[in-house]
Structure 1
């Protein structure tokens, strides 16, 4: 069954680019509509049954002119929706806040041509909402301890090692060691590679 996509950007040229990028996925994914403002995003989510939203972070709108507030509203009203944010903003704080709100991917417009299709293809045959539990990862041939999986889940929500330490009542050294151990098992060396690997595995918080 085709997955239904809504694309949103206030620049028509980017909308054309998104359509062109996603056209090779026809048969699996179908762009049902597009939006130029945040208000249109909400109205079209209300009108259509959408599976995936690909949206710019900063768009004009009368009612919803704050990107984080918009995403928060969307996640509250459509919790099962897969949200992919495309942006030129490289602020780590904003990216962390988006992950905490449950955004499934934050993709730079500079890397859109390769990263968007790669990410959406990675959704095929996976649950976009499964958490990186030990059982789920074991099905991929990767064996993590429950504590390592818990640390990964919280990292994906945007928490820092210090945040996780306080939440789980573990020392920062212990959390850091569990994070490093999980990354070693996954074959990654940076947090960016970690997020990319978990996206490819279809494991999201």
Structure 2
């Protein structure tokens, strides 16, 4: 059976390097490349045989860990392997908390990247992956639908319902319905509290 692997990274040369690693591990796989979060989400939604996503956190359209959350919402059963230059002791744990199966820095050697890809395709977490359960709020954020995440990210960006409705091609009533669902899932009373919760989880970390 053919399988598709999505490489989401805004640097063409690094996408090429990851494609090489993929070809070494899964030579028959079809590789799709995406340079923005929007194109990655579209590709993930349209690929019926998607087996793995490799993701850079610092992509156009991504805010903090929102790329993981959005792609995980699009394809919850598809493993996401983060390969990023993002720094900080907590970044790997946070990436896994939002749905990634593993985290590698971009300066990892080709062998380590290939091993991580092989492990993810085999249905196991790469070496060093966290196994402890994430806290309830992170689980709820990770469980938001793609549209709910887009609405929440727009709220973080300071947009009003009218602007969000225009950007996402929906009515203001639909935006309000999504916000109601988001607030219920996050157990908050208003959009300001929802934004504070999202910020506390790193969804608006500076790129």
TM range (shorter): 0.5 to 0.7
Q: Using CA pairs under 8 Å that are at least 6 residues apart, name the structure with larger relative contact order, 1 or 2.
A: 2
CA contact (8 A) 2:83 2:105 kept: yes
Per-residue CA shift, 1:22-54, capped at 9, x if unaligned? 222344x51331001111101111221211001
Quick one: distance in 2 between partners of 1:123 and 1:14? 19
The 5-angstrom pairing of residues 16-165 of structure 1 reads 16-27=16-27, 30-49=29-48, 50-61=50-61, 65-123=62-120, 126-128=122-124, 153-154=131-132, 157=134
TM-score after normalising by structure 1 = 0.56
CA shift in 2, pair 1:75/1:66, >3 Å? same
The alignment of Structure 1 onto Structure 2 pairs a total of residues equal to 131
Quick one: distance in 2 between partners of 1:97 and 1:82? 15
Quick one: distance in 2 between partners of 1:9 and 1:57? 8
Per-residue CA shift, 1:120-152, capped at 9, x if unaligned? 22345x4348xxxxxxxxxxxxxxxxxxxxxx7
Any unmatched runs of 5+ in structure 1?
130-151, 159-205
Secondary structure in 2 matching 1:153: coil
Q: Which runs of 4+ in 1 moved over 6 A?
A: none
CA contact (8 A) 1:35 1:41 kept: yes
Any unmatched runs of 5+ in structure 2?
136-207
Quick one: distance in 1 between partners of 2:3 and 2:24? 14
TM-score after normalising by structure 2 = 0.56
CA contact (8 A) 1:7 1:31 kept: no
